[in-house]
Each structure stands twice: as C-alpha cells, then as structure tokens.
Structure 1
C-alpha cells in the first residue's frame, strides 16, 4: 500500500507539460499506424506525409503567404474589437445611463453565431478585407466588454475612497486606480477573444474568401490534396497554441503583482 501511494509523487515530479506532450505524441503515432495499416484511403494520409507537406509549404513560401494574409486581418480585428470593448465596458460600468442604453443591445447581439452575420456583411461590405476585419472585431468585442464591465465593478471601493479623499481627478482615478485593478479581468477577456479571432478569421475566409488559410484549406479539399490540407490545419493548431502562450507571457509580465497576490 505504501509503495502504491508513493507512485503518484514520483509521477507528479515530472514536468507539468510532459503528460500533454506524451498524449499528443501517442495520438500522432496512432494516426500514423492507422494510416499505414488500417485505413486504406488517400484521404487519411500518414503523419509523415503531412509533416513533409508542412516542410514543403514553408520552404516554397506558400503556407507563409496564406498565414500572413490571415494574421494581419486577425490582428486588426482583434485590436479594434478589444479597444472598443474596453472603452464601452468602462462607460457601461461607470455611467448608469450608458449601461441602461447599451445593455439591451449588447444582450441582443451577443448570442448571434458568427456564421450568421457573414451573409449580411457580404451584402453590406463585400467579400474584401473590410468584411473579415469587421467580423473578427465583432467576435472579439463581447468577451472583452463583459470582462471589462465585471473588472471595473469589482474594483475595491476603498481604493476609490482613498483617491476621492486625496481629491484625485476622475480621469487620473480611471487611469491610475480603475484600469490597473481591472486589468486581470480585461486580459482574461482578451485571451478568450484571441482564440475567437483566429477561429472567426478562418471561418470567414472559408465562407467568402479568395485568400488566407481558410480559403487555402477549402481549396486543398476541393483539389483532393489531403496532405496539404492537414498540413495547414497542423500549422493552424500550432499558431493558436503559440498565440495563447505569447499572451500568457504578456499577462504574467504585466500582472506579476496579481500572481504574487494569488500565491
């Protein structure tokens, strides 16, 4: 019994990400084995062929071009949606009239699925960059807005009372007290929005695109080139993971005081 109890301690001593990496490797090995031995279909290529397609697409610049096209639209939409969410979130959290006027509209628009707004936007904005950037902005706006409202309303009243006692102006109170205190909430909303930005960018390109990674995936499907299609999907997964890690690093750097407080 004692020997059995000591086993979890030694397993927990392994690096935190070891088990996730191990599971991923096992799934890829399973994919490779089934493609070679069990599934006789060209639509289920071995992992080695997919990795070869990844290398080829990166070397000849094809994948770099389509990913770059998607990334700049995603970044523009993410920046616009996040900025709008923070500004309107502060207004709704601090101004009762703004909250009363905007909340019904927000609750009406927030549940609409992203694919449902693409057809009307095509009629209004066409199929060029403006439609895709607006779609990404629309998707990113609501998580940041909701978290900003929650963060501003969660600011410690004592901090506001101290600022009022020292006769600190409203603008300085906002920038020096309210925003820093609500930053953990805002960054949490931005992490959610970052994943949505990538998803919505690809979906918009699949529905109405002539370039970008979503259009590339659909083109490879129609061209019956599954290795290239899966190569793009593999890189898309790696890109999403890398973007999340980057934002986490920024969050840890900016919110070092918050992390210490949690410990």
Structure 2
C-alpha cells in the first residue's frame, strides 16, 4: 500500500531554500559592510592628513617640506626604476634597504635570545637578580646612541657595530618583561610541577615560558620599534650604506624629496614590522582568549 502524498511539505522544503540563501547573502553583505567601515575608520584620518599635507605644501612652496606627490616620485626613482630583470628594483634597494633590514633583524633576534634566556634565569632566581640588579639598572640607564663612538672605535665601520648598538639598546625591554612574566607564573602551576617532579627543561618550556608569553610579547613589540630607531642612529655616523646613511647623504646633497622618501620608508617599515609581529602574537596567544582579544583591539 503506497503512502499518501503531501505536496504541501514538498513546497515548504522548496520555499525554505531561497530563504536560507537570502539570509546567507545578508550575512555576507553585513560582513563586507563591516569590513569596509573598519577600513574607512582605520585609514580616513591618514588620508585626510596626506591630502592636507599636499594642499598646504603646494600653497606654501617651502623646499624643505615637499608635497607627498614629489616624495612618491622620489621614492619611485630611488627604489623602483631598475631594469625589469631585477623586478624594477634599483641597486639602492640591495645596498641600503636590505642591508638595514638585515641589521635590524640580526640585532633584534640576538637580543631576543639573550633577553628571553637571561630573563628566564633571573626570573626564577631572586638571589641572582639581587646580585645583578644594580648593575643592570646602571647599564640600561646609558642611552645607546652615546655608545656609538665607543663601539665605532672597538669594532670599526661595518655591520658589527650597528648590530651591537641594536642589541645593547633593545635587549632591556625583552629581558625585564621576561623576568616579570616568569615571576608572575601561577604558584599553583609551580607547586603542581614540583609535585609531579617534572624535569626542569620540560617545566620551563611547557609551563613557565607559555605563561610568561603575553608579557614577553609586550617587550618584543617595544624592542622591535627601538631596533628600527637604533639602526638609523648607528647608520647616521658609522656606516657607508643603509637607510640612515642614505638619509644623511640625501640631506647633504640637498635632495630633500629623496630624504623625505627615506623618512616615509622608515614609517612604512615600522608599521609593517609591527603588523607582522602582532599577527605572530595573535597566533601564539590564540590559546588565551582574553590576551588574543586584547591584541586584536
């Protein structure tokens, strides 16, 4: 015996599909609108500032403050007017930009290893911190730029001097934030690790450092910005290449649009490096919802 046919139920099922599609389209449109609003809110003030800069400098006609269009033209001439075989990149990209980035990353990575390593040791040893604390307070109070002549005499002109200046200046926020992060590890976790007699290495890498990661990243963000500053400062004096060297060269040659192009380049590099580090931080702190939300904001 055949079951009775109900056309109404089939019609209802057919009608539900367009409704679902409409809802999905609305949700997608809402997400797109939200992204557009976020983009406008993030960049509107910046665009207005650039437009005002262009208008004011065109009216004032001060050679020391060229308009953004002239700066962009100088940037294209300096870095993107090379042959097609080298992707239109000029020799200056290789001799100055890449060299400076190598110094920044080299010095910063060395400082990260030293800062996190020593900070972990000192954070777990109050006695050790009592011994070296006064010396650290004295040394980190010395402004790194004043030691450029000293390192220049000891190491000569070259990347070794610039990297040493960067390491000396940026290691402190990493080290001190690591010490603070290690000391703030929950005592319950410490007691649990001792109760189960977890090996020291496993305890440090599995318990201490993950718990201290938020504060370590706070030090990393500060140190990365500082590394960019110290790279420029060290290249202004003891270098024959790099962004800092090119800045002072353009200033002395009265190539002011080229000098401003270098200044804008430093701002762009700082923004990109900070954005990259924030992305890494979000990934590393994804297991901590509160920290991830704070980073995202």
| TM-score, length basis structure 2 | 0.80
Match of residue 274 from structure 2: 244
User: Which whole-Å CA distance do the structure 1 matches of 2:61 and 2:287 have between them?
Assistant: 56
Go from structure 1 to structure 2 and tell me whether the alpha carbon gap of 1:125 and 1:19 turns closer, same or farther (over 3 Å shift): same
Question: Which of 130, 155, 165 is residue 100 of structure 1 equivalent to?
Answer: 130
Correspondence 1:145-184 to 2 at 5 A: 145-184=175-214
What secondary structure, in the 3-state scheme, does the structure 2 residue paired with 1:15 have?
A: helix
Go from structure 1 to structure 2 and tell me whether the alpha carbon gap of 1:36 and 1:198 turns closer, same or farther (over 3 Å shift): same
CA contact (8 A) 1:187 1:251 kept: yes
Residue 215 (structure 1) aligned with residue 215 (structure 2)? no
Go from structure 1 to structure 2 and tell me whether the alpha carbon gap of 1:261 and 1:240 turns closer, same or farther (over 3 Å shift): closer
What are the ranges of 5 or more consecutive residues in structure 2 without an aligned counterpart?
Answer: 1-33, 83-89
User: Which whole-Å CA distance do the structure 2 matches of 1:262 and 1:256 have between them?
Assistant: 6
User: Which whole-Å CA distance do the structure 2 matches of 1:253 and 1:44 have between them?
Assistant: 41
CA contact (8 A) 2:181 2:216 kept: yes
CA contact (8 A) 1:147 1:186 kept: yes
Q: What do you get for the CA RMSD once the two structures are aligned?
A: 1.8
What are the ranges of 5 or more consecutive residues in structure 1 without an aligned counterpart?
Answer: 1-11
Match of residue 52 from structure 1: 73
Question: Which of 156, 166, 189 is residue 126 of structure 1 equivalent to?
Answer: 156
CA contact (8 A) 2:282 2:292 kept: no
Give aligned pairs, total.
251
Deviations 1:31-82 (A, max 9, x none): 1112211x23322222111111112222231442211010001111001111
Query: Based on CA coordinates, which of the two structures has the bigger radius of gyration?
Result: 2
Match of residue 107 from structure 2: 77
Q: What is the deviation of 1:219? A: 0.4
Say which structure, 1 or 2, has more relative contact order (CA 8 Å, 6+ apart): 1
What secondary structure, in the 3-state scheme, does the structure 1 residue paired with 2:37 have?
A: coil
